[in-house]
A and B are shown apart, each in its own frame.
Chain A
């Protein structure tokens, strides 16, 4: 069953902690993306990757980091430098043939 999986669904972070959000896909897509969504807002691009071992900053990369060591995986770390991390985080992989971006179910991060 092909798809894109994000975990965990809900995540709580204490002030000053780094946390890592997981994103795995078995769709064999080269391109993957991370977006942040705040209540009542659209999706803002954090980082994206077109190929293994390469990634680019999006519009709001400050306070976040990523890696792309495997085609299937694109984890996002929310660092303590991100001052307002409470949001809904969405990972997507992109099929250029369709074309279509497929989304995971999202991770809702809350700072406690």
Chain B
């Protein structure tokens, strides 16, 4: 079992719709969870971090965490073509000296 799992996609969503990205993790000792966006050939940039169960909203983005199910998701409302990128889920495993592990990423394509 991979430590952090994501569907590789591509996920195609029409402009203006909601894009839903999902991630599961294996280490129950994980403390902090992150969503990064990466454009082709560029470095990842942080969209959201979350560490408490429930929802966290920032503009068009909402992160959801369920530690009991070991599941974290990202919703993007009113999707724009500029949202087309690869989205990386990352998890901080405190049980392993703050090791930060990334998933393989989901490619998101917003079609006009």
Q: How far is the CA of A104 from the CA of B98 in the complex (A)?
A: 19
Contact status A106-B43, CB under 8 Å: yes
Mostly, the A contact residues are strand
Check B17 for interface membership: any CB of A closer than 8 A.
no
Contact partner, A35, options B49, B102, B105, Cβ 8 Å: B102
Check A2 for interface membership: any CB of B closer than 8 A.
no
Q: How large is the interface on A (under 10, 10 to 19, 20 to 34, 35 or more residues)?
A: 20 to 34
**B33 closest partner in A (C-beta):** A99
CB neighbours of B99 from chain A (8 A): 45, 48, 56, 58
Number of chain B residues close to chain A: CB under 8 A: 23
Please give the distance in Å from A7's CB to the nearest CB on chain B.
Answer: 14
Contact status A105-B43, CB under 8 Å: yes
Contact partner, B46, options A44, A56, A101, Cβ 8 Å: A101
Q: Scoring B residues 58 to 79 as 1 if CB is less than 8 Å from chain A, else 0, what string do you get?
A: 0000000000000000000000
Check B80 for interface membership: any CB of A closer than 8 A.
no
Check B44 for interface membership: any CB of A closer than 8 A.
yes
A99-B43 contact in complex given A33-B100, A41-B104, A42-B103, C-beta closer than 8 Å: no
Check A1 for interface membership: any CB of B closer than 8 A.
no
Check B34 for interface membership: any CB of A closer than 8 A.
yes
Q: How far is the CA of A104 from the CA of B43 in the complex (A)?
A: 7
Check B22 for interface membership: any CB of A closer than 8 A.
no
Beyond the given A45-B102, A99-B49, please list 10 additional residue pairs across the A-B interface where CB-CB is below 8 A.
A42-B104, A43-B102, A45-B100, A48-B100, A50-B97, A99-B51, A99-B92, A100-B34, A101-B100, A105-B43
Chain A interfacial positions (CB closer than 8 Å to B) = 31, 33, 35, 41-45, 48, 50, 56, 58-59, 90, 92, 94, 96, 98-101, 103-106
Chain B interfacial positions (CB closer than 8 Å to A) = 6, 32, 34, 42-46, 49, 51, 88, 90, 92, 96-105
**List of 5 A-B pairs having minimum Cβ-Cβ separation, nearest first:** A42-B104, A43-B102, A103-B43, A42-B105, A42-B102
